[in-house]
């Protein structure tokens, strides 16, 4: 199984900050890496697919980059609604696997 390691596991940020979350995979997944936002009690939401494609309706302050084994999710200017858990997921091979999540909290 492909292991996904996210860093950091949590971070504190202020509204307006730029934040970057990293996802490293144990073997190459080419560009088959996706990012989700999760607020407990609600449905996870797809933000970015195939490493860098913004899902319809997702604000452009979210962006993704990377290929192979290292990927990043960037929020250019954090909004109050962005405080949540973010996780990566690979679709390169089965079983589909997920990163451990990054909790973004208000500083």
Residues that bind another protein (CB under 8 A): 32, 34, 36, 41-46, 49-50, 53, 55, 87, 89, 91, 94-101
Nearer to another protein, 8 or 18 (CB): 8
Residues counted in the chain: 107
- Assigned token pair, 101: 């999540």
The residue ranges of DSSP E strands in 1-107, in sequence order, are 4-7, 10-13, 19-25, 33-38, 45-49, 53-54, 62-67, 70-75, 85-90, 97-98, 102-106
Work out how close the CB of 96 gets to another protein at its nearest, in angstroms, rounded to a whole number. Answer: 4
- Give the nearest distance from C-beta 42 to another protein in angstroms: 5
Taking the complex as a whole, the smallest distance from the CB of residue 16 to another protein amounts, in Å, to 29
Which residue number, 49 or 71, has a Cβ lying nearer to another protein?
Answer: 49
Closest Cα to residue 51, out of 40, 63, 42? 63
Torsion of CA 97, 100, 106, 107, to 10 degrees: -140
Please, which residue, 19 or 97, has the CB nearer to another protein? 97
Nearer to another protein, 19 or 49 (CB): 49
């Amino acid at each position: 199984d492909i292991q996904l390691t996210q860093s950091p596991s949590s971070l504190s940020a202020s509204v307006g900050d730029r934040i970057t979350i990293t996802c490293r995979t144990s073997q190459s997944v080419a560009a088959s890496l996706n990012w989700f936002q999760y607020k407990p009690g609600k449905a996870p939401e797809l933000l970015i697919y195939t490493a860098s494609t913004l899902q319809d309706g997702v604000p452009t302050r979210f962006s993704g980059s990377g290929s192979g084994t290292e990927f990043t999710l960037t929020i250019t200017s954090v909004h109050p609604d962005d405080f949540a858990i973010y996780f990566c997921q690979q679709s390169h091979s089965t079983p589909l696997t997920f990163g451990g999540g990054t909790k973004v909290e208000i500083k």
